Every structure is written in C-alpha cells, then in structure tokens.
C-alpha cells in the first residue's frame, strides 16, 4: 500500500495548521500523531488511503466554525467525514488538508410526531433515527445497506438510497431542511420547515454534493408512518432475461413495489453459503419483490405479483408467511457484500444505474468482460430502479489484479453511460469514479459544476479534487482512453 508522496514542507504546514487549531479548539479535539490519524486514512473504499495533515474533531457548531476559519485563514483544504462508510472515497483525506470528523455530532435534537419530522445532528447514524421514532409508529425511509453504521450527514452528502427507493425515494426526497456552515463563515439554512422555501432549491443542490459546497451541521428529516404489513415474494428464474421481463411486468401492472431486488447465480451461491436462507441454487436469477402498506393493499398487491411472476415463467416461488420468514428471505440480499467477501480475498463494488430495458444487454457484456479480464463478477441489483451493483472478485496480493479490476470496472461504467445510464446511482463519485465523470459530462457541463462550487466555496477549500474532475484531468483521461484504456487514475495510490 502506497500513500501519495507528501508535498515538501509538510512538517511546517502541519505545525502551522495544528497550532492554529489548538488555539481555538480543546486539546483533545486536534489530532496530529500518526497513530491517531490512522483511523481516518480511508473511508469504505479502503483501496485508497491517505494520512491527513491533521484531524479536527469539533464538538459544537461553534468549534466547527472555528475549524473552517482556520482553513480559510491558512488556505488549508478541509475534508468532512461522518462514519466513513462511503464507498467512493469521498472522505479520503488530503495530504495537505484538515480531516474534519463530525463524529461528535451524534445527538437527535428533537422529534415532532405530529409534524412527522426529526431534527438531528449529522453524525447520528441512519438506523438510530428509525429506532428512536419506532414507538411513535414512524420511521425514516432511506435504508442504505450500511444503515447501522452510516451517518445521516454522509447520507445527505451522497444522496444515499437503499432497497426501498423506488417507492419511498432517495435522501433528497426525505429531508426537509439542513443547517450548514459556508467556508466563508456564514450559517446557512437550506430548505424549510414548510414544504418549500423561497429562492433557488439549494437543498437539492446540497444533497449529493459530496462535501464540496458547505459543511452540514444539522438535518431535519421527514418521518413516514410505518407500513402495517410487509410481505416479500421470492421467485426463481432459469435465465436472467425472464427475470428482467418479470420486473418490467410487475411495474407494467401498476405496482410500485416497496423493494424489488435481483441476485444472479454467483451472488446467490455466495449468500446461501453464508446465511442458509434456503435460496434456490439452481436459479440463474432470483427476484425478491416486497409489498408493504395496509393489510388490504398488501393482500391485493401480493396477489397481482404472484400472477405476474407465474406468467413470466418463474420456476420456484414463495411468499413470506411471517415476519421472521420475510427477514430470512431478505437476509441474503442484505448480506450480499460480506457474503461475497467470504468467497474472495477482495471485492470491488460498482454502482452504475441504467434504464432497465438495457439490463439483459449490460449483464451479457459484464459476463463477457469477466472472461476477458479473468475476474469473477457476482451481480446484485436494485432491479426496480435500475441500479446495478456488480461485485468484481479479486485478490489484491496478486500483482496487477487490482489494476485489471479497475479497468474492468471502468469498462462497466462506460457501458452504463452508453446505454443511457449513469456511473453512480447512490455511492457517489468521490475519487473513485472521477475519471468516468469525463465520459458522462462534456467540458461545458463540468465547467458549470465548477462554477456551482465556486458560488458556495469561492476559495475552493471544501473537499477539493473530489466529485468533479478538472478539465485538465479529463484531457489526460481522454488521451489514455485513446491509447488503449489503461490505468484511469495514474496519480492515485494503488496496490
């Protein structure tokens, strides 16, 4: 594992910035020792690592504002971090930057059951909100698979999704207001306690902005009434095309399922070995289709889903008969990442999103590329909304295998763009997919993104270099693609 080379004068910078921070924050809130910085070296994308110049752990909004002031006065970049579960390197520190951990902002500030909102600090974990409001018959809908660990601030930064997005929306649909600090020191309130706010929709812009626009300090989330009943259908198919067709037919029948997930044979084998839920190991594709709502609604929907699955030619079929069985059916899908982790030393998760009509084509091509690169690939897929998660299996200790994996991944992402999709459905661009941004957007569009950033962050100190590539970088990326598509990120650390 290499870290990027440290710029000259790093010691002096560290001393300057950390002493400026130490003057304004409690002693325990500033970390400079290498062993203290180690936990902040990477987020969920651990292939990329970097030691920050210094880490700051403010405990109050005032202290967070002081960190930004030091950043501004010393011209030091700032990378904000929540729980560090992000999968695109969005919270990867910068060698010459402050790593600002929001971990101490972990309190639920207010719950208003009548208004169905909760005001929380950004470090609160996603699942904590649902746990806190469950006694009121409410819940917070977005449920990324990392929900027991990921923070709501990170969810806003990435516009996190989950398995229930098709029906209940992404983070952007489930938050009402945020408080944030600008790099200039202004306290911003974006969105409102009302259903809309005057002026431009800056809340939409802030959601999914990967920490490049402002520092979140508070989030007001919407809470929904917990559905009374949920049931899941599990159906097996002997080929992927038939499963894809069944998905289209479910939607075509006027049903918006609460969840609609697909696993291919390799993913199924991996998860069955891990959770023993009784998945059909003969099937080429398994669909999990959930209905939730009132008992009447669910009974009506499950009957329709059953009919559609049968017509689409499923070979095995089961409806969960109890809550325990429903959770068992889901257990494998929810554990897909760790399950794949057990059958391979390393895996690389992709997050492309495509129009569902192109799914069969894309899966075929992924299989061809798998042969070409000599790397196995297990597919799990948010089938309802077109968000693919191919998991490429590799071994980081085999020389060259990570490079081949990245190249394979890059090819899949470009394929997603080619069929009218996107390089990231819910994990964000971060450092990981910054090269492919050049394929998805043209220079004028990228320049517009940079201008948006400059409107919020004129000195360009908030998480610079992430999410939106510079035009120079794209010129290099383009040149490389022409020369045979090797190594999309030459200047980034690799195995």
Residue 79 or residue 375: which is nearer to another protein going by CB?
Answer: 79
For the CB of residue 308, give the shortest distance to another protein in the complex, in Å: 12
Tokens of 119: 């005001």
Residue 111 or residue 487: which is nearer to another protein going by CB?
Answer: 111
Write out the binding residues for another protein, residues 180-199 only, by CB under 8 A. 182, 186-190, 192-199
The partner residues of 99 in beta bridges, in order of sequence, read 55, 79
Alpha helices in 58-110 (DSSP H): 61-74
Residue 60 or residue 448: which is nearer to another protein going by CB?
Answer: 448
For the CB of residue 250, give the shortest distance to another protein in the complex, in Å: 9
**Contact flag: residue 202 with another protein (CB under 8 A):** yes
349-364 residues labelled b (16+ CB within 10 A) or e (exposed): bbbbbbebebbbebbe
* Among positions 445, 459, 471, 475, the unique one binding another protein when judged by CB under 8 A: 445
Please spell the DSSP secondary structure of 415-443, one letter per residue: HHHHTT-BS-SSS--TTTTHHHHHHHS-H
Please spell the DSSP secondary structure of 277-290, one letter per residue: ----TT-SEEEEEE
**Strand, helix or coil for residue 371:** helix
**Contact flag: residue 61 with another protein (CB under 8 A):** no
Distance of alpha carbon 178 from alpha carbon 221, whole angstroms: 9
* Among positions 138, 183, 339, 377, the unique one binding another protein when judged by CB under 8 A: 138
Write out the binding residues for another protein, residues 450-479 only, by CB under 8 A. 451-456, 458, 467-468
**Contact flag: residue 350 with another protein (CB under 8 A):** no
For the CB of residue 487, give the shortest distance to another protein in the complex, in Å: 21
**Contact flag: residue 118 with another protein (CB under 8 A):** no
Distance of alpha carbon 310 from alpha carbon 329, whole angstroms: 19
For the CB of residue 403, give the shortest distance to another protein in the complex, in Å: 23
Distance of alpha carbon 106 from alpha carbon 113, whole angstroms: 20
Q: Are strands 316-319 and 229-237 parallel, antiparallel or unpaired?
A: antiparallel
**Contact flag: residue 115 with another protein (CB under 8 A):** yes
For the CB of residue 187, give the shortest distance to another protein in the complex, in Å: 7
Write out the binding residues for another protein, residues 374-433 only, by CB under 8 A. 382, 385-387, 420-429, 433
Write out the binding residues for another protein, residues 291-320 only, by CB under 8 A. 293-294, 296-297, 299-301
For the CB of residue 421, give the shortest distance to another protein in the complex, in Å: 5
Write out the binding residues for another protein, residues 13-52 only, by CB under 8 A. none
User: Would you say 379 and 267 are in contact if contact means Cβ atoms under 8 Å apart?
Assistant: yes
């Amino acid at each position: 594992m290499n870290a990027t080379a440290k710029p000259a004068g790093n010691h002096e910078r560290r001393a300057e910035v950390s002493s400026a921070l130490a003057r304004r924050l409690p002693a325990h809130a500033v970390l400079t020792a290498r062993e203290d910085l180690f936990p902040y070296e990477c987020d969920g994308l651990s292939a990329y690592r970097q030691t920050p110049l210094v880490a700051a752990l403010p405990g109050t909004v005032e202290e967070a504002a002081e960190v930004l002031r030091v950043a501004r006065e010393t011209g030091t970049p700032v990378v904000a971090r929540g729980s560090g579960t992000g999968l695109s390197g969005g919270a990867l520190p910068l060698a010459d930057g402050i790593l600002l951990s929001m971990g101490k902002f972990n309190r639920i500030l207010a719950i208003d059951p009548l208004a169905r909102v909760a005001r929380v600090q950004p470090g609160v974990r996603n699942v904590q909100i649902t746990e806190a409001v469950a006694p009121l018959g409410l819940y917070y809908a977005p449920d990324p698979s990392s929900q027991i660990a990921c923070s709501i601030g990170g969810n806003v930064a990435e516009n996190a999704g989950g398995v229930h997005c098709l029906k209940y929306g992404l983070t952007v649909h489930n938050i009402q207001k945020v408080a944030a600090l600008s790099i200039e020191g202004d306290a911003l309130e974006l969105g409102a306690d009302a259903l809309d706010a005057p002026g431009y929709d800056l809340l939409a812009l802030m959601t999914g902005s990967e920490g490049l626009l402002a520092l979140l300090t508070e989030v007001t989330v919407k809470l929904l009434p917990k559905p009374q009943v949920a049931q899941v259908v599990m159906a097996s198919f002997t080929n992927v095309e038939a499963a894809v067709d069944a998905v289209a037919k479910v939607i075509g029948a006027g049903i918006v399922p609460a969840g609609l997930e697909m696993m291919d044979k390799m993913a199924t084998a991996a998860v069955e070995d891990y959770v023993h839920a009784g998945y059909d190991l003969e099937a080429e594709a398994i669909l999990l289709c959930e209905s939730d709502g009132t008992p009447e609604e669910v009974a009506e929907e499950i009957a329709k889903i059953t009919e559609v699955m049968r017509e689409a030619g499923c070979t095995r079929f089961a409806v969960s008969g109890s809550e325990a069985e429903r959770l068992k059916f889901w257990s494998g899908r929810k554990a897909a990442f760790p399950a794949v982790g057990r059958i391979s030393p390393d895996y690389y998760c992709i997050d492309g999103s495509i129009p569902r009509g192109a799914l069969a084509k894309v899966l075929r091509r992924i299989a061809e590329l798998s042969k070409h690169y000599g790397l196995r690939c297990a597919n799990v897929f948010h089938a309802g909304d077109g968000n693919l998660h191919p998991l490429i299996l590799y071994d980081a200790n085999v020389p060259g295998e990570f490079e081949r994996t990245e190249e394979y991944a890059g090819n899949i992402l470009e394929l997603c763009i080619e069929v009218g999709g996107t390089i990231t459905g819910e994990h964000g661009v971060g450092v990981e997919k910054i090269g492919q941004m050049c394929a998805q957007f043209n220079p004028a569009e990228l320049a517009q993104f940079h201008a948006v950033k400059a409107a919020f962050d004129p000195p360009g100190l908030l998480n610079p270099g992430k999410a939106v590539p510079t035009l120079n970088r794209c010129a290099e990326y383009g040149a490389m693609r022409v020369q045979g598509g090797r190594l999309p990120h030459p200047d980034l650390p690799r195995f």
